Amino acid sequence: MSTDTVDEIRTTVPVGAVYAPGSRLDWSEALVPGDVVLDERVAPNAPWSAVVRAGDVLTIVDVGGNQSADCLMFNAHDPSERYSVPDTLAWQGNAYVREGTVLRSGLGHPLMTVVGNEIDRQDTIGGACSKESNTLRYGHHTAYQHGCRENFLAEASRHGLTSRDLVSNLNWFMNVPVEADGALGIVDGLSAPGRRVAIRADMDVLVIVSNCPQMNNPCNEFNPTPLRMIVTRSEDTDR
């Protein structure tokens, strides 16, 4: 590096990767019936948020397959009540998220429930990637890269939240096994293009998602793809 001449130094912004041309994309549809009240696409590397009303169901589509959708949830009316990994795990007595898992707050209250799931298990142990943790995991040469924590902070700030409000999160479509000796890590995913998860809001919930930009591990198959977010409302939950 120190031998570079000035005209060899890049002067364009080093933005994150997006999916390769020809990648298979399957935009799918909502996993549960109901009137569509929101239908949005999340670009690779980008954040997203919405308030999902109690009783409504959010379908997240893994459009390109094995694209981690890092997710935080808050009580929309009092965001000091928020998703809690340990409460969710302790109440169900299991470390993995599957159909039927109740996603609980730190007060033990149900925020959302997994009502449909098209992969074997979902992760809530692995946490979010960040510029800071990338320096530990991969080296300081990755510090410039975008991360999920950046997405969380940017999106949270639009709702008046700060780093104090960020906690360990859920990772839809990411695979983190825990082995017998406690070894744990992010390995190749269990999902595929068009696979979905559906989560029903048990109260009015602010959902924040980061479409993970990580390019140093297999949490998006090294090929960041879009997500589709669909909120549906069934007649019997209308109010």
Of 159, 219, 162, nearest in space to 190 by CA? 219
Nearer to another protein, 17 or 166 (CB): 166
Q: Is 212 in the site for Zn ion (CB under 5 A)?
A: yes
Q: Which CB atom, from 105 or from 145, has the smaller least distance to Zn ion?
A: 145
Residue 113 as a binder of another protein (CB under 8 A): the answer is no
Q: Which stretch binds another protein (CB under 8 A): 3-11, 20-28, 132-140, 201-209?
A: 132-140
Contact string 14-53 vs another protein (x = CB under 8 A): ----------------------------------------
Rg (CA), the chain: 18
Of another protein, Zn ion, none, which one does residue 214 interact with (CB within 5 to 8 Å by kind)?
Zn ion
Which residues, at least 6 apart from 24, have a Cβ–Cβ distance to it below 8 Å? 64, 65, 193
Task: Name the helix (H) or strand (E) containing 133.
Answer: helix 131-137
Q: Residue 89: helix, strand or coil by DSSP?
A: helix
Region of 71 please: left (phi>0), alpha (psi -120 to 50) or beta. Answer: beta
C-alpha torsion sign, points 87, 90, 91, 93: positive
117's contact among another protein, Zn ion, none, with CB below 5 to 8 A by partner kind, is none
Q: Which is nearer to another protein, 59 or 84 (CB)?
A: 84
Give residues in contact with Zn ion (CB under 5 A): 129, 148, 212, 214
